[in-house]
Structure 1
Amino acid sequence: MSTSFSNLSELVTAVKAATDAILTTEPKEVKRIRTGGLPVGTNNQYFTTWDFVNGMIRDHSTCTWYSLLNTFEDERFSLDQCCALVHRFDYTFSNFLRYSGFQEMAVLAAALTKHLPTAKTREEAVKAVRTFLAYLNRLAAWLFHYFPWNIGKHLTYSYTTASIPTPADPDLSRRVHVADGRKVRLTWQPLGICVVATLATKENPELCEDVLRELPFSIIQDHAVVSGESMYAWAPVVSTAPVHVKERQCDAPVGRIRYSQATGNKIIVQYGRVTEDIETPILGEILLQYRDRLGEVGSAVWKSTFETKQIILLTIETVD
């Protein structure tokens, strides 16, 4: 990749190409750090560097660049004000990540800092920020997938699964009913399991439209590591759409599909008990007649995320 770009448009094209190249192919930087190919880490160990990088890229996308995108879209701030924030919030992250092997990302971040002030319109600047955020989200997805979450089996609490306390008791009266809307098909390969879902096109029309616009796509399916029996996948979508309807995760039914804009633009499928009481935007729900297939998917995805690292791809496409 070139380390210099003549203008913002050329840079955006390069970022988009870099993102497309790692949609379903592991980035070389991720493979290098997870296999010990990067000599960064005290006393010849690299777990700490891997741990730092995993957390920093996640936070860089969800906290830094997603917040910057919202700021660039907010016309209360001038473009000059927005551009002034980029170096201030990006550099600490991108500079350490450069040292930790993510040199392509650091080159793109530095170029974006340089060229954003040349944007002729707010739309041009927003497009550039949005494109870079999509690239960061893809790096975060790969790092999450290959992180050694099985280390957690050595750090377990004494509760049985049935007696795990929750922040709040489920309240089924708060459960949202999703009206019949646009249908999509979700297929997990190589599991060969397919389900049909209805999207919340009446409840969250703008959010659904953002997703529908990008279909079809295939993304890596991973398992939640905190909230319970839930699966998520980073979508090749960057949505800042208004959200009208949310639901506490602990109140949701099996088959609920959520969408988390603020944590990387993840599509989330619930297949069992979830302990989080955090409200999350509703994207839809899997039709009742297909929900008995989700336990098998969840079990396979749990094994992939925590043990084997087998790639399970979720393909989402519209149903005619």
Structure 2
Amino acid sequence: MRMFELTAALLEENPLPIKKAADKQQISVRAIRRLIAGQLNEGALFNYQITTGKIKRVHGFGLFTGNQPEIIAALFDQSHNLSLLILCMKQPVLSFSLLSDTAYISATTLHRRFACFDQFLSPYSISIDRRTYPFVSGNERQIRFLLFKLTAFLLPALCDAPALLYQHFLDIHTLRQQVLYATATSITSGKISPDCYVPDYYLTNEAAYLFLWKQLLAQETFFVPAHEAILITKIAASFIQDSDAQLWANNLSQIYQIHLVCALLEGNIFVFQPVVLTFSDTTVQLIRSFLLQLPHYEKLLKKHPELPMLYECVWQKQSIFQPMFTIKNTPPDT
């Protein structure tokens, strides 16, 4: 997982001072050196070098165009920490000793991993503790979303197949249902904030919630409530040119869905945040207008500071559920 953050940082600055790379991840320079040394540092994808205190990706980033999910999957496929965390979320009935044996690591090492996992999970209102049973606890809606995202990072073929992506979401939902206790929290319970962005009918039962995700993953048509469509269009009209009116109309549903998802869920929607080399004027103007005129938008933006990046995904025709290093389709080669 740290390798993703390092690669994303190199998109912004290549070569990158090793001390700066360590500070970004709040780890030591020695840990960064071990991280790079532990990679398959061969071929075009993973060829990193450290010289004169700087990390350089030898072949630049031209290869990132069009195949970001494949590269991300290759990086994460080597992550023992990601595999271990996914195992904890998929099999919550494992005991600590059995998990230690299954992962072939000592109890002391596993305890340290749990401490790191807990820090990672905290923004999602999820916790992991060896003293609890099951280890992973928290809002079930959050757990299933995060497990869906983490496992999707390893399956790049899903990115271009919305039907398969929804089936993957449904498989995660079914798996968690089968391994949980009857007393586990429902995916329709838990605080929504700000609740004005999520229509009540999506949380009436689990079938309604699954239908919402069928819409979000483009398997059903999404209809924006009329009063919301009128309000957002009126706000955007202050800076959208007439020539862009149709384009805005096409993006309106995506904007509304982003607000809904951000109100529904805690933590960074991307999970691993991509790089935005520049923000468009449209994004900047949209945020300013929403802050002035859209009810409770300041609260939503504070909860999800990645909102500007989510808007950029709309303009770049990239799904917010797609693994990516950069939101720009063609990052500059350096």
Q: What is the TM-score normalised by the length of structure 1? A: 0.29
Q: By percentage of residues, which structure has more strand?
A: 1
Q: What is the TM-score normalised by the length of structure 2? A: 0.28
Q: By percentage of residues, which structure has more helix?
A: 2
